[in-house]
């Protein structure tokens, strides 16, 4: 994914130089960002991204004083050098690419920044910072279509476990507001560097579900996305220390390698599930609860789900393993295959051939096979990127709550 360096002078210079104030972008292009102080009069607008008819994309970035600019991100696993024009605009054409949604950043002399002319953004932080996104058309499973749509809402709850307010992003299926039907719930966790909104805003989980439900391929369900770190909710006010917080300067807790998932796992079980089941029309029993996640969230699914099969009947692990000494960490799970096979309706593990999580996922598959625990192990093309997790949700949702 690259690294993130904040250099205000270069960022402001690049941003302010993109499009003069008052000058509209070409028809069909996203509005260009306006620089501070009204822009640079006389400069032509920078059009970026420009998706071409051959399914390639042209990216441009105005940085006349930069010595070297490259494009990084989730782009076929490669870094792309850009070429500077006499006008100081760097450009590169990438592709053709398979139809999908991609994210990218510019690296200008070591300063990594988003595309200031592109309003489509993947939120993130740390090792996976914010990035710009574009879509190559042709694969519409995660696009908004003319079908009945569910509702995405942001709910705030007080975590007794952590002692702070936190937020949940929650999808309710089409027709929820007009009926009295109760629904199964899928607690879906994000990965490292993502936040509670990531599955909706980057993963397009709501549109994926709308389309599957409209096609009769998936059962209507509620999807709940909590913040995967044991810390206060994003944007809820000045951040306060959580109960049992690590010393100042320590990284935020989250992955939860121990059985139970640590403080985050306790929050999910003791706070999130009771809040959701009290406020929403859910089916409040084990057959109608699922837990899943990608990368860090996949590891959390193992840590929380394996010791709690009396709570969850479906476990979905994307691009993650079970960690070291799994047989000892989850001894009750692995020594009772007959019990686990009766409790779990679905244990679904997916990974990609060029995913750095392949070895961990394969080790989990081997351990489950050796222990005679029923599961599915799916390996397809791809890397450790959002491109694959959208497809993974599309593949697993039709298998759930059947």
Specify if 1 maps to a domain: no
- Domain for residue 145, yes or no? no
Statement to judge: residues 129 and 160 lie in one domain: no
Per the structure block, which two tokens stand in for 14? 């690049």
pLDDT at 257: 52
Domain boundary among 113, 137, 161: 137
Residue 330 is assigned to a structural domain of this protein? yes
56 with 194, same domain: the answer is no
Statement to judge: residues 133 and 158 lie in one domain: no
132 and 157 share one domain: no
Nearest-5° angle of CA 16, CA 20, CA 23? 140
What confidence tier does 126 reach under pLDDT thresholds 50, 70, 90? confident
In the predicted structure, residue 12 carries a pLDDT above the cut 60: no
Q: Are residues 118 and 172 in the same domain?
A: no
CATH number at residue 216: 3.40.50.1820
Residue 394: predicted pLDDT = 97
Considering the domain architecture, whether residues 101 and 160 belong to the same structural domain is answered as no
For residues 18-45, give the mean pLDDT: 46
Token duo for residue 182: 């109760």
Give Cα 112 distance to the centre of its chain: 20
Stretch 351-362: mean pLDDT: 93
Average the pLDDT over 52-75 and give the result: 96
- Do 34 and 81 reside in the same domain of the chain? yes
Question: Domain check: are 369 and 300 in the same one?
Answer: yes
**pLDDT recorded at residue 41:** 57
* Burial label, 78 (beta-carbon count in 10 A; 0-12, 13-18, 19+): exposed
Same domain, 314 and 221: yes
- Check residue 323 and give its pLDDT: 79
Span 220-230, average pLDDT: 97
Q: How confident is the model at residue 258 (pLDDT cuts 50, 70, 90)?
A: low
Cα 182 to Cα 222: distance, rounded to the nearest angstrom: 9
Domain of residue 79 covers: 8-137
Query: How many independent structural domains does the chain possess?
Result: 2
Same domain (yes/no): 46, 162: no
Global confidence as pTM? 0.86
Lowest mean pLDDT among 27-31, 197-201, 386-390: 27-31
Question: What is the SS3 assignment for 184-236?
Answer: CEEEEECCCCCCCCHHHHCCCHHHHHHHHHHCCCCCCCEEEEECCCCCCCCCC
pLDDT for 32-58, tens place per residue?
Answer: 444 333 345 568 899 999 999 999 999
Domain end marker among 114, 137, 160: 137
- End residue of a domain, out of 137, 170, 195: 137
pLDDT tens readout for residues 156-184: 999 999 999 999 999 999 999 999 999 99
Q: Is cis: bond before 323, omega within 30 of 0? A: no
CATH code: domain of residue 124: 2.60.40.10
- The reported pLDDT for the residue numbered 324 is 80
- 179 and 124 within one domain: no
Of the two residues 235 and 249, the one the predictor is more confident about is 235
Same domain, 372 and 281: yes
Confidence of residue 376 (pLDDT cuts 50, 70, 90): very high
Mean pLDDT of the chain: 87
Q: Which residue has the tokens 């027709």?
A: 175
Residues contacting 281, CB < 8 A, separation 6+: 176, 180, 181, 182, 183
């Amino acid at each position: 994914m690259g690294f993130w360096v904040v250099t205000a002078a270069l960022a402001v210079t690049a941003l302010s130089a993109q499009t003069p104030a008052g000058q509209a972008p070409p028809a069909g292009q996203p509005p260009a960002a306006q620089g501070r102080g009204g822009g640079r009069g006389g400069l032509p607008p920078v059009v970026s991204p420009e998706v071409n008819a051959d399914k390639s994309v042209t990216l441009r970035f105005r940085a006349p004083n930069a010595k070297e600019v490259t494009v990084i991100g989730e782009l076929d696993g490669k870094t792309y050098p850009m070429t500077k024009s006499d006008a100081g605009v760097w450009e590169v054409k990438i592709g053709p690419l398979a139809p999908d949604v991609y994210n990218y950043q510019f690296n200008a002399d070591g300063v990594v920044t988003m595309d200031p002319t592109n309003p489509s953004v993947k939120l993130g932080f740390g090792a996976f910072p914010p990035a710009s996104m574009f879509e190559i058309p042709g694969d519409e499973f995660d696009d908004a279509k003319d079908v009945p749509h569910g509702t995405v809402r942001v709910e705030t709850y007080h975590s007794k476990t952590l002692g702070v307010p936190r937020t949940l992003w929650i999808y309710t299926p089409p027709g929820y507001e007009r009926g009295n039907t109760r629904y199964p719930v899928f607690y879906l966790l994000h990965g490292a560097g993502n936040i509670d909104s990531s599955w909706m805003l980057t993963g397009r989980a709501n549109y994926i579900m709308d389309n599957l439900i409209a096609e009769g391929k998936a059962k209507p369900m509620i999807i709940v996305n909590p913040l995967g770190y044991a810390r206060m909710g994003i944007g809820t006010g000045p951040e306060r220390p959580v109960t049992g917080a690590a010393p100042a300067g320590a990284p935020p807790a989250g992955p939860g390698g121990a059985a139970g998932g640590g403080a985050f796992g306790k929050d999910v079980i003791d706070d999130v599930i009771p809040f959701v089941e009290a406020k929403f029309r859910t089916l409040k029993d084990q057959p109608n609860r699922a837990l899943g996640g990608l990368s860090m969230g996949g590891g959390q699914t193992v840590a929380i789900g394996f010791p709690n099969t009396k709570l969850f009947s479906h476990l979905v692990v994307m691009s993650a393993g079970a960690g070291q000494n799994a047989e000892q960490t989850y001894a009750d799970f692995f020594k009772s295959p007959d019990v686990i096979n009766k409790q779990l309706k679905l244990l679904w593990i997916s990974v990609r051939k060029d995913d750095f999580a392949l070895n961990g996922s394969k080790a989990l598959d081997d351990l489950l096979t050796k222990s005679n625990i029923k599961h599915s192990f799916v390996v397809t093309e791809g890397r450790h990127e959002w491109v694959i997790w959208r497809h993974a949700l599309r593949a697993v949702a039709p298998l759930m709550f059947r």
